[in-house]
Amino acid sequence: WVDHVAVVSSNGKLRARRPTAAAAAGAVLGEPVAASDDQGGLVHPSEEFAAQALVSSTQQYQEMYRRSIDDPAGFWSEIAETFYWKQKWNPDEVCAENLDVTKGPIKIEWFKGGKTNICYNAVDRNVEAGDGEKIAMYWEGNEIGQDGKLTYSQLLDKVCQLANYLKSVGVGKGDAVVIYLPMLMELPIAMLACARIGAVHSVVFAGFSADALAQRIIDCKPKVVITCNAVKRGKKLIPLKDIVDVSLADGAKNGVDVGICLTYENQSAMTKEDTKWTSGKDVWWQDVVPNFSTKCDVEWVDAEDPLFLLYTSGSTGKPKGVLHTTGGYMVYSATTFKHAFDYKPSDIYWCTADCGWITGHSYVTYGPLLNGATVLVYEGAPNYPDPGRCWDVVDKYGVTIFYTAPTLIRALMRDGTEYVTRYSRKSLRVLGSVGEPINPTAWRWFYDVIGDSRCPISDTWWQTETGGFMITPLPGAWPLKPGSATFPFFGVQPVIVDEKGNEMEEECSGYLCIKKSWPGAFRTLYGDKDRYETTYFKPFAGYYFSGDGCSRDKDGYHFLTGRVDDVINVSGHRIGTAEVESALVSHPKCAEAAVVGIDHEVKGQGIYAFVTLVDGVPYSDELRKSLVMTVRSQIGAFAAPDKIHWAPGLPKTRSGKIMRRILRKIAGRQLDELGDTSTLADPGVVDQLIALGDS
């Protein structure tokens, strides 16, 4: 059935049919995707687990869910009241929205008129409640034996010092700050410091290249860039400051002159002496920040003031600056965290995501700290020095909630259970999965081997745009089905629509949309309201369109089936095919490129690029490497194509449109499913491509 989801482009027109990421993962592992098993495929939480859970039965969920839909203002206000607001929101404006483009501009506002500060709620509030001595963060370095920790009081001091420094160099409310840091505690500290003074942080994943960083700097024009000199991931040394230098020079050429590059000295990776330095612009964090006061007044901001910008990929070459605001995001990230992981104050929580992605924003930094949780921040690679590292870390800190991506599970599964069973893992209580569909075999392995068949798995479906979980298990409330994200979170109304936008009932498969807004929804794309409306609200008027395919089984369980637009999901990272194509065609020897996703056993999807060379240029392995290098340097290593397929020509319609459907079939070696090629301008190119497939 998964093959029957049609594809919608960002302008809402139907394009083609393609297999999905979930189909990919399932097919590779030789199993049906997300099968709902009538003979006991349900995995129940233990009675003990359910008895202590925040939501311990389907009935309790249903009552709460019904209230959240019938009376969203009342439901969310009650929760919002548990946070600190300098000034309460207008009671009649808890939520103001228009999600229908035919009725005027899209608008989503929550808690209008309220004034608060997310840093105050995530840090000060916990100290004031008597948790100052509780560990806010443990830090585990790349090398075994490197570690650190901060209590909530210490975290507050550090955040205030940095906030005071930022103020001293002129950063104020509404100013952008770009953060390009690895997983040091300084990364969440920097996010919180910005939030404290009302500045808008834009974290750029430290795996992005200099070009990609420059593009983001040019777009959001930060006053300061915060980085560190270098990081070691596994055995590899990555000189981050050198990368930032190139981006800043590029920014300056494009009229964006960033005055200050605040650089943390990450001594375990590189010394000060070895770091290239531009006096005047470059400032060592350790030289200035500790000199500032550990007290810093909070900037009270409006609920709808921007909190952060996070760039993500779409179906054009230009990344989208997803903008989240303060009040709704605060309430939503905290509430989803609490319920989806059945959070208890004694939990030790570890999310393996990097703060460079939305998961690290909502579920490393804000969601957990807003709940006063103890969070583990891990700097290194999850399989370094060997594939047992995660479980070594779990035992060392007594991790109770472990949240990761299917790609890691599949990689570790391939490495063998002996790396798992040599560790106790007894502390684990709840597991979580995010970023891509989890195929049932990986789900089972996660459940049976990692969790010793004791720990429920919260397979959380959501997106950069949604700010927090949308469809997710509440682990004590109902039985799970391997491969299913199960049911909607409070206040979320998912609908599955057909190609014409008609809502489908009961068992069905189609496009996943959301009806009505929720507090954590993004408010716009920075500087591009048109693209915001066109991409998300025009395809199906009246709904937010997720870009994902979804099916619902007879029991109402949701199964996400992957992207239905021109976005590929590689190891849980969103990559636009157009971004990779534009990097490839910037190579002087590349005339044209078309990129499609293919099944990948570990990464979920891999990147497959068809490349037409400039006339007369011969094929060579060297050129292949050089093309891959171009993508690495323009986007980052994680976007490097897995395969370059030489293409003397690309299959195009007579109007010049590339038929990606055919390219997907050729890439997937499904040659008997090429379909009708007679509408091509030159049907002969298909045979040529097939012939060159193994070259």
Positions annotated as catalytic residues are 565
Bridge partners (DSSP) listed for residue 680? 653
Read off the tokens for 4: 């029957």
Residue 306 vs 604, nearer CB to ligand PRX: 604
**Residues 586 and 332: beta-carbon distance below 8 Å:** no
* Nearest distance in Å: CB 495, ligand PRX: 16
Read off the tokens for 487: 């049911």
* Nearest distance in Å: CB 129, ligand PRX: 30
Secondary structure class of 493 (helix, strand, coil) = strand
**Does 548 sit near ligand PRX (CB under 6 A)?**
yes
Bridge partners (DSSP) listed for residue 139? 148, 377
Segment lying near ligand PRX (by CB under 6 A), choices 559-567, 584-592, 634-642, 660-668: 559-567
Tokens 């002496």 belong to: 273
**List of residues 6+ apart from 530 with CB closer than 8 A:** none
Contacting ligand PRX within 58-97 (CB under 6 A): none
Q: Report the side by side order of strands in the sheet with 558-563.
A: 503-504, 493-497, 508-515, 543-552, 558-563
* Nearest distance in Å: CB 435, ligand PRX: 5
**Residues 432 and 404: beta-carbon distance below 8 Å:** yes
**Residues 324 and 311: beta-carbon distance below 8 Å:** no
* Nearest distance in Å: CB 433, ligand PRX: 6
* Nearest distance in Å: CB 548, ligand PRX: 5
Secondary structure class of 432 (helix, strand, coil) = strand
**Does 560 sit near ligand PRX (CB under 6 A)?**
yes
Segment lying near ligand PRX (by CB under 6 A), choices 49-57, 169-177, 201-209, 352-360: 352-360
Out of 158, 339, 516, 574, which residue is the one contacting ligand PRX (CB under 6 A)?
A: 574
**Residues 578 and 596: beta-carbon distance below 8 Å:** no
* Nearest distance in Å: CB 480, ligand PRX: 13
**Residues 380 and 234: beta-carbon distance below 8 Å:** yes
Segment lying near ligand PRX (by CB under 6 A), choices 232-240, 265-273, 428-436, 513-521: 428-436
**List of residues 6+ apart from 168 with CB closer than 8 A:** 292
Contacting ligand PRX within 432-451 (CB under 6 A): 434-437
Please work out the total of residues on this chain that contact ligand PRX, with binding judged by CB under 6 A: 23
Distance CA 30, CA 28 (A): 5
Q: Report the side by side order of strands in the sheet with 306-312.
A: 282-284, 260-264, 224-228, 176-180, 200-203, 306-312, 320-325, 524-525
**Residues 160 and 299: beta-carbon distance below 8 Å:** no
Binding mask 280-319 for ligand PRX (x = CB under 6 A): --------------------------------x-------
Segment lying near ligand PRX (by CB under 6 A), choices 135-143, 423-431, 525-533, 562-570: 562-570
Residue 429 vs 563, nearer CB to ligand PRX: 563
* Nearest distance in Å: CB 438, ligand PRX: 7
* Nearest distance in Å: CB 75, ligand PRX: 23
Q: For 318, phi and psi rounded to 5 degrees?
A: -90, 125
Distance CA 560, CA 583 (A): 30
Give the Å distances, CA to CA, from 566 to 13, 46, 370, 461, 686.
Answer: 13, 41, 35, 19, 21
Binding mask 452-491 for ligand PRX (x = CB under 6 A): -------xxxxxx--------------------x------
Residue 258 vs 455, nearer CB to ligand PRX: 455
Distance CA 598, CA 197 (A): 45
**Residues 406 and 438: beta-carbon distance below 8 Å:** yes
Residue 33 vs 662, nearer CB to ligand PRX: 33
* Nearest distance in Å: CB 462, ligand PRX: 5
Distance CA 155, CA 16 (A): 51
If phi over 0 gives left and psi between -120 and 50 gives alpha, with beta otherwise, what is residue 198?
left
**Does 569 sit near ligand PRX (CB under 6 A)?**
yes
**Does 354 sit near ligand PRX (CB under 6 A)?**
no
Binding mask 588-627 for ligand PRX (x = CB under 6 A): ----------------------------------------
How does DSSP classify residue 608? E
* H-helix or E-strand spanning residue 643: strand 643-646
The alpha-helical segments, DSSP class H, found in 197-326 are 210-220, 240-253, 285-288
- Length of the chain as a residue count: 695
If phi over 0 gives left and psi between -120 and 50 gives alpha, with beta otherwise, what is residue 480?
beta
* Nearest distance in Å: CB 452, ligand PRX: 22
Distance CA 104, CA 175 (A): 29
Residue 587 vs 664, nearer CB to ligand PRX: 664
* Nearest distance in Å: CB 564, ligand PRX: 9
Residue 124 vs 354, nearer CB to ligand PRX: 354
407-430 as b/e: b if 16+ CB within 10 A: bbbbbbbeeeeebbeebebeebbb
Out of 183, 243, 358, 667, which residue is the one contacting ligand PRX (CB under 6 A)?
A: 358
Contacting ligand PRX within 91-110 (CB under 6 A): none
Contacting ligand PRX within 528-547 (CB under 6 A): 546-547
Distance CA 586, CA 196 (A): 41
What does the binding site for ligand PRX look like in residue numbers (CB under 6 A)? Answer: 312, 357-359, 434-437, 459-464, 485, 546-548, 560, 562-563, 569, 574
